[in-house]
Amino acid sequence: MSSSVLRLYEPLAPYAGNIAGSADRQSAVPYVESTWRGWLAQAGVEDEVADAVFAAIGAKVNRSEIRTMASDCESASGRLALLIAVLVWGRGRRNGRMRDSIIKVLTNANRDEILLATRELALAGDAAGAYRAWKLPGLQAAFFTKWLWAASSLNAENCCLVQDRLVWKSLRALGWDSKEAAGGTRNRDVRYAAYVRDLHECARRLSRGLGDEGAVTGEDVEHVLFSAKGDFNAWVNRLPSADGAV
């Protein structure tokens, strides 16, 4: 086991049973449909696509619904619908200040070309290539890695993973360093790929500890990092049978 994976694995191993399946237990995200419909109209999104999105996700959106949509995005309209669902999931009701950025992404002339390219790279397990291929202005890594996850989410053992501010905070708390994990490079795409690699390897190790291959996924580890928000002792204390500290 590499030293970078060990930094993740050792503090999380006692809680492997709690971590297993945690991503799918993540609370669904509420949103205001009328607000999003207004923005989609401004971006020129066809009503048929908007209707398909809101029919698929209901009043709240969760990971399972996004995975279901990911199974039907071979067409341009399917990819657009998945992107919209990801944006709704990522912002929920806290979306006012991102309106212009979201519209900018949705109206970009190269949108589908980039969605298609990043999806294919992500599905092929090329996290660095997928990260590098994202060229749509308006969304930073905290958001476009959500798309990379969604686009590859059916490949649970090797999917891309979300890397946002709260995840970074937890990684730093555990002493995980992206530059070190990536062999010293400053390239963000390679460092992102190292993050994806290490979380999946950590998940495999946690699963083996439970004697159940696949019980813990990379998504589960990512969700724990997001939930802990850099304070693992507080995260442990929120567990159903908290009895220790990380």
Q: Is 195 helix (H, G, I), strand (E, B) or coil?
A: helix
- The pLDDT of 240-246, averaged and rounded, is 53
pLDDT digits (tens, 9 = 90+) for 101-134: 999 999 999 999 999 999 999 999 999 999 999 9
- The pLDDT of 24-35, averaged and rounded, is 94
pLDDT band at 240 (very low <50, low <70, confident <90, very high): confident
Residue 243 has pLDDT above 70, yes or no: no
pLDDT digits (tens, 9 = 90+) for 56-92: 999 999 999 999 999 999 999 999 999 999 999 998 8
DSSP code for 232: H
Residue 93 pLDDT: 82
**CA nearest to 150, candidates 141, 162, 140:** 162
Dist CA 151 CA 149 (whole Å): 6
Residue 36 is which amino acid?
Answer: W
Dist CA 167 CA 169 (whole Å): 5
68 Cβ partners below 8 Å, 6+ apart?
56
pLDDT band at 95 (very low <50, low <70, confident <90, very high): low
pTM for the structure as a whole: 0.94
**CA nearest to 119, candidates 131, 110, 136:** 131
Dist CA 195 CA 221 (whole Å): 11
- The pLDDT of 5-28, averaged and rounded, is 96
Mean pLDDT of the chain: 94
